[in-house]
Every structure is written in C-alpha cells, then in structure tokens.
Amino acid sequence: MLSTTVRSGSNLCQNSQMKTLLLTLVFLCLAGATSAQDFGKGMEAMKRGDFAAAVVEWRPLAEAGDSASQFNLGVLYERGLGVGQDPSQARRWYQSAADQRNAPAHVSLGRFYENGFGGAQDYVRALMSYETAVALGISEAVEYRDDLAAKLTPEQVDEAKRLMSESVTTAAGKEPTPQQNTIALATVRNIQGNLNTLGHDAGPADGIFGARTEAAIRAFERAAKLPVTGTVTDELVARLEQSARAKQGETGKPSTVASAPPKTITNQSECDIQAAHPGDDSRPPEVAGVPFEDINIALAVEACREALVQKPGDPRYQYQFARSLHKAQRYGEAVILYERSGGQGSVLAQKSVGFMYANGLGVAQNYAEAAKWHHKAAVQGDADAQHNLGFIYAKGRGVPLDNVQAHLWYSLAVEQGNEEAEKNRKLLAAKMSASQIADAEQRTREWLDQHRR
C-alpha cells in the first residue's frame, strides 16, 4: 500500500498519482468496437472526476445495449456521482447489464435484492445473482452466496438455482452448457490463455470473465467462422484448445495454461517479489518491495493467488493479493482481502480498509468505518493512519467533530516526521482556544509516555 496521505480540503487519498475517488469499473473497461471511442471518453471523464461528462458519454451506449456502460451508470446512480443518487435507477441499469451476463453487475444486483435497495427485497433473486456471479468467475461472490444461502430454506435455494438455469437458457437460446452454469476459475483462465496464444487479447489470465474476455471470444469466433455469441460452450473450449496446440506446434499435449501445479511457497515467494509493500516489516528481509505504481498486475495477481492456495489465511499474502487487485482496480475483491488481513492485525491492511471506505472504493462510502479502521492502524503507531484520523476528527466525518482529538492524532503523526500532519495541525490550532491546545498537548504527552514504555 502506498503511503496514505490526506490533502487539506480533500477526501482521504493515497498518492498524487491516484485520483481520490475512482469507481469499480475494471471489469468493464472495454465497450463494443463501434462505441469504444465514446466509452473511452467516459472513462477519461470519470478519472478526472467529471462524472457528469461520463454520464453523457455512457448513457447513449447503455441505452443501445452496451453492458459495460449499463453497469457503470448503475455505479454512478448508486453513489450519486454526476447524477442524483437514485437506487431505483441504479437497480435498473444493474439489471440490464446482468441480463447480458455481466459478472460484476450480478454482484451489485445481488446486494440490491438482498437489502431491498431501489425496489422490493427478494432473497431468492439475490441468491440467484450471487450464484451467477460465481459461475461467471467472481470467486469473492462465493462468500456472499454462502452467507445468504445459510439463511434460506432448501426450497428457496433450489428456486434460486432454477431461476439461474432459466436465465442462462434464455440468454443462450438453448440449454445451458456446463460451462455456462458453473464457469470455473481454471476454465476461464485456460480460455484466456488460449485466446492470448492465438493473438486475441483477453487480458491477464486471471479467471475473471469480463468484457475483455468476451470480446476476445467474439474475435476468435469470427476468425474461426463460428457463430458469434461471446459465450462459453463445449465447442468453444475444444476449438480453442485445438487451435492453441496447433499454433504452438504441440500435438496431443493438453494445454497447461491453467493446470500447471502451483509454485512451492518458500520464505521468499513470487507473491512477495511481485507485490510486497516496501514498508511491510513482515516481508522477507531480502525482498525490497514494490511501490504501488510499479506493480505488474498480471504477474502479481497470479503469484499471490497461488500463494494463498499454498497458505490460506496468511495475512501477508492476503494483503499482497489485495494490493494487486487494488492496482487492477478490482476494488470489491481487494477490500474483502484487506479486511481479512487487517482483522489479523496487519496495520497496512487496516489503513487500506480505511482508505477504501473513505473513498467509496469497492464499498459504499462510510466515514464511520473509515474512522474505525484508521484507528486500528493509528493505535499501532502508523503515522499515515494517525494523520488520516486527525483529518477525520477535524472534519467530523463519521465521528463527532473534535479538534482536541484531531490535534492529538496530528501531533502523534508529527512525532514521526509526517510533514503534512504538521501543516494541518497548524491550520487546526488557529481555530482552537489556548485551553484546547493545552489539553491536546497533555493528551499527546500521556499517549507517548504510555506507548514508549
């Protein structure tokens, strides 16, 4: 995680190279060929914070049926960015994208059904949406699905599966194939690897079935003179395998794109090499660490996925995998892993969770949660978290406005050389009475005496 800083008058942020607020759009960064230019204009507008302009670019595409634009409009309506916050409109656009088997839209739609956002609450359809997201390759949706299924009756679970099967049949116009019902991570990775071998850019072989993979499938189908559907069928898998082997000059040898055995994890793993934070004291001493902006997404995601297979629940690998997914802008997956690592005491993960909540990345913006997670890291002595917590108290975001508490946390960060905290403390002190400053300074001395023992 990069050093978390807070700029005066801004949201919590991490680095001048990153926008303070970015949306969960990584799955949906490729529109159809005829609309790619306009879609790209929307992405550029979003990145510079001009959400109204993004709406102008994406709405016509969404109305014309582009699932990426539909999902992105759902995000904007859910968060009230560039448009008035409107859960019913968000639900409408998520539904439109989900009807086209857009994987992240199914996760969002599941949340809306489960919580009754923008319409009626419907646990069965929520479970159906989560189940579909899992089938389309979003592994983190497994937890949502299982948590909800545990609350339902067997009959409700069966009904959700039936609805899912019907939706697949409707979308494909025929009985669903095994891949359409349960597109396993390894299957999608294998498909992506073969597509890349054949020169059809599916992006990194990460097992996530998104718009880029679908577009590559369509390109292969056109080249192979197959019906152009963009969906996974038994025939597609077989033809891809055959064509990839032929191009590689291999006969009779099965593809090893996704079936190679995982690397043996030693003290210094490939995940550490690709994604360790330079300031992480738990990293192997011989590993220098990688600045956030230098993370190679494809290598880091793959390496850290394998590391967690070897050591499930390891907080360092959870954090490093989250960091890789964060760099890929797969925010929803990243925040789950940040929370798991932070729950085991990782200070870097804790302040990362705080950052995600403060900026609404992968989760609904929630300053109370941001304050809670920054506090966890701050009491462990992290200067960035202390600075951010000072900012939160100074602005009264998620906590009661408290200048004395803000001054305390700024001062603790200043003790560790945080220059931004020193600037913000001076600005804050100008608004405080002499007695308030004296109180804050006394609390700071007491805190330092207690924690230096």
Please say whether the dihedral angle defined by the alpha carbons of residues 170, 173, 177 and 180, taken in this order, is positive or negative.
Answer: negative
pLDDT surpasses 70 at 13:
no
Higher pLDDT, 78 or 267: 78
pLDDT surpasses 60 at 34:
no
pLDDT of residue 409: 96
What CATH homologous superfamily does 18-176 map to?
Tetratricopeptide repeat domain (1.25.40.10)
Question: pTM of whole model > 0.75?
Answer: no
Quote the mean pLDDT of the chain.
79
pLDDT of residue 100: 82
Tokens coding 26? 């990584």
pLDDT of residue 176: 35
- pLDDT tens digits for 121-167? 889 999 999 988 888 777 768 888 988 998 888 888 888 888 776 66
* Residues contacting residue 210 through CB under 8 Å, at least 6 positions apart: 26, 27, 28, 30, 103, 104, 203
pLDDT surpasses 60 at 6:
no
Residue 225 — φ and ψ, nearest 5°?
60, 40
- 318 pLDDT band, cuts 50/70/90, is very high
The CATH class for the domain spanning 185-248 reads mainly alpha
- 228 pLDDT band, cuts 50/70/90, is confident
pLDDT of residue 256: 41
Tokens coding 170? 């409707």
pLDDT surpasses 60 at 226:
yes
- pLDDT tens digits for 368-381? 999 999 999 999 99
pLDDT of residue 450: 85
- Chain CA centroid to CA 336, Å: 8
- pLDDT tens digits for 175-224? 333 333 335 556 777 888 888 888 887 766 656 566 667 778 888 888 88
pLDDT of residue 443: 94
pLDDT of residue 342: 93
Judged on CB neighbours under 10 Å (0-12, 13-18, 19+), 184 is middle
Q: How many CB atoms lie within 10 A of CB 164?
A: 23
pLDDT of residue 278: 93
| SS3 at position 378 | helix
Q: Does domain 1-17+349-453 have CATH number 1.10.150.530?
A: no
Range 266-277 average pLDDT: 82
- 384 pLDDT band, cuts 50/70/90, is very high
User: Of 370, 363, 380, 348, which Cα lies nearest the Cα of 1?
Assistant: 348
| SS3 at position 20 | coil
d(CA 393, CA 21): 20
Our separate counts of H helices and E strands in the chain read 22, 2
Cross-strand bridge partners of residue 6: 12
User: Of 65, 150, 66, 78, which Cα lies nearest the Cα of 107?
Assistant: 78
Task: Tell me whether domains 18-176 and 185-248 share a fold.
Answer: no
- pLDDT tens digits for 387-436? 999 999 999 988 999 999 999 999 999 999 999 999 999 999 999 999 99
The residue written with tokens 């009959």 in the block is 155
Domains in the chain: boundaries? 1-17+349-453, 18-176, 185-248, 264-328
Range 70-80 average pLDDT: 88
d(CA 100, CA 354): 34
* Most confident option among 113-117, 224-228, 347-351: 347-351
